[in-house]
Amino acid sequence: MTENAWTRWPSREALGPLGISRPRRLLAWTIRLLVLSMLLWAAFSQRHVGLRGALAAGAGVALAALVAWAFFRTTYEHRLVPSLALMGVLLGIAATAEVTGFRGPALVIWCGCGVSALERLPLGVGVPVASAALASYSATTDDAWLTTAATVAGLALAGYVLRLDAEARGNAQRLLAQERAARAAEAESAALAERARIAREIHDVLAHSLSAQLVHLEAARLLIENGADRERILERVVAARGMARDGLAETRQALSALRGELTPLEDFLTELARTADGAEVTVTGERRPLSAEASQAVRRVAQEALTNVRKHAHGARVDVRLDYSDHEVTLNVRDSGGRPSELDGSGGGYGLLGMRERAELLGGSLDVGPDEEGFVVTLKVPV
């Protein structure tokens, strides 16, 4: 046994009542009441001491019960010196009972001290205390030496088994507490992840819809300031209204996505390309359903890429290509280059950051940059 095992207290979980089943608690209290009843009966059944002696013996039994309760409390708090002092008081009460002729209560107290010392004290001090208590029992009992030896061995074994059982229960309680803490942390992490996902959905929908509306409304403002004709101004206002209508539809779609209700990815890209002038969609590879996260990443990257085309390459031809391979799905959005719109510098600049964040969260990659003609966005997501 290591030095730590001799000096280590049983854990508070082991010494406390937590984790003990109701039948076992009832059994423990029944045994305590029986022992107390036996001690009281032994105190009052001695005829040679008289009434005063019986009352004194009853007071001694009550004192022993109170000291035992205090011993249980101090060992629970891992207070060594008070625990040893209380154990000494109990051994003194047993010795006094033996001297005054109350051998039965003395034997019971010595046996209880031996078992409790092994169960609740560090073994480095519990073994000597239990040895002293059981040695006192052996020296005063009238049983045969073989019976006494068997009783002492049984009591020592019972105390150590109770200790092992209590430590096993304490370990189980600690593991249960750790599991509950891990589950709480996991639930909190899942809640934070869900909040982040909702935040990304809100940003992507609003950035795609509101920035497009802002382009057309700002263009209408510039046309009004420059004295343009009514038809051109109305064209921009109508376009902004259409973007608002599309944004509302996208918001509803985002809510459906959060509920796990997604339209087919190919249909979504086709509808998205329909609202973008000059965009064409090509799908290659064997089509198969994607996870909600992967599908949503492809959708939002496509939206953001087309929004950037609308802002920075107005009038460009756009090719949207979706390729299904064995281990990943690839989205490629390429434009042929065009003129900047009236709000080329508008927006918060968070679109590319959001797209890259979506790709990295799924273990994918995002490549963004110019090519020979215009600009290309390539998303790869493992499936």
Domain ranges (residues) in the chain = 3-142, 184-382
CB 15 within 8 A of CB 76: yes
Q: Is the pLDDT of residue 199 over 90?
A: no
CB under 8 A, 24+ apart: contacts of 89-94: 90/64, 91/132, 91/133, 91/136, 93/60, 93/63, 93/64, 93/67, 94/133, 94/136
- Residue 320: strand, helix, or coil: strand
Residue 86: per-residue pLDDT: 93
Q: What is the total residue count of the chain? A: 383
How would residue 349 be classed by pLDDT, with cut points 50, 70 and 90?
Answer: very low
Q: Tell me the C-alpha distance between 47 and 58, whole Å.
A: 14
CB 229 within 8 A of CB 266: no
Q: 80-99 vs 50-76: helix axis angle to the nearest 10?
A: 160
Q: 103-120 vs 80-99: helix axis angle to the nearest 10?
A: 160
| Mean predicted confidence (pLDDT) in 361-372 | 85
Residue 338: per-residue pLDDT: 66
Among the listed ranges 9-23, 25-39, 236-250, 354-368, which one has the minimum average pLDDT value?
Answer: 25-39
pTM, rounded to two decimals: 0.50
Q: Tell me the C-alpha distance between 267 and 245, whole Å.
A: 18
202 DSSP β-pair partners: none
Residue 104: per-residue pLDDT: 78
Among the listed ranges 135-139, 185-189, 342-346, which one has the minimum average pLDDT value?
Answer: 342-346
Residue-wise pLDDT for 47-56, tens only, equals: 555 566 667 7
The C-alpha angle 290, 291, 296, rounded to 5 degrees, equals 90
Tokens of 251: 């918001």
Number of H helices, E strands in the chain: 12, 5
Q: Is the pLDDT of residue 335 over 50?
A: yes
Tokens of 119: 């169960």
| Mean predicted confidence (pLDDT) in 275-303 | 81
How many C-beta neighbours within 10 Å does residue 52 have?
8
The CATH number of domain 184-382 is 3.30.160.270: no
What per-residue string of b and e applies to 136-167 under the rule 16 or more CB within 10 Å gives b? bbeeebeeeeeebeebbeebbeebbebbeebb
How would residue 262 be classed by pLDDT, with cut points 50, 70 and 90?
Answer: low
Residues 6+ apart with CB under 8 A from 9: 75, 78, 121, 122
Q: Is the pLDDT of residue 1 over 50?
A: no
Q: Is the pLDDT of residue 77 over 80?
A: yes
How would residue 22 be classed by pLDDT, with cut points 50, 70 and 90?
Answer: confident
The pair phi, psi for residue 382, each rounded to 5°, is: -70, 145
- Residue 143: strand, helix, or coil: coil
Tokens of 229: 């004709």
Q: Is the pLDDT of residue 261 over 50?
A: yes
Residue 173: per-residue pLDDT: 85
Among the listed ranges 67-71, 78-82, 189-193, which one has the minimum average pLDDT value?
Answer: 189-193
Kindly compute the dihedral angle of the four CA atoms of residues 46, 50, 55, 61, in this order, to the nearest 10 degrees: -20
| Mean predicted confidence (pLDDT) in 117-121 | 90
Tokens of 177: 């507490």
Q: Tell me the C-alpha distance between 96 and 90, whole Å.
A: 10
Calculate the average pLDDT of the chain: 80
CB 76 within 8 A of CB 10: no
Residue 145: per-residue pLDDT: 84
Tokens of 98: 């033996």
What per-residue string of b and e applies to 61-92 under the rule 16 or more CB within 10 Å gives b? beebeebbebbeebbbeeeeeebbebbebbbe
- Residue 380: strand, helix, or coil: strand
Tokens of 79: 């207070």
Residue 82: per-residue pLDDT: 93
Q: Is the pLDDT of residue 18 over 80?
A: no
| Mean predicted confidence (pLDDT) in 89-100 | 87
Q: Is the pLDDT of residue 337 over 70?
A: yes
Q: Is the pLDDT of residue 235 over 70?
A: yes
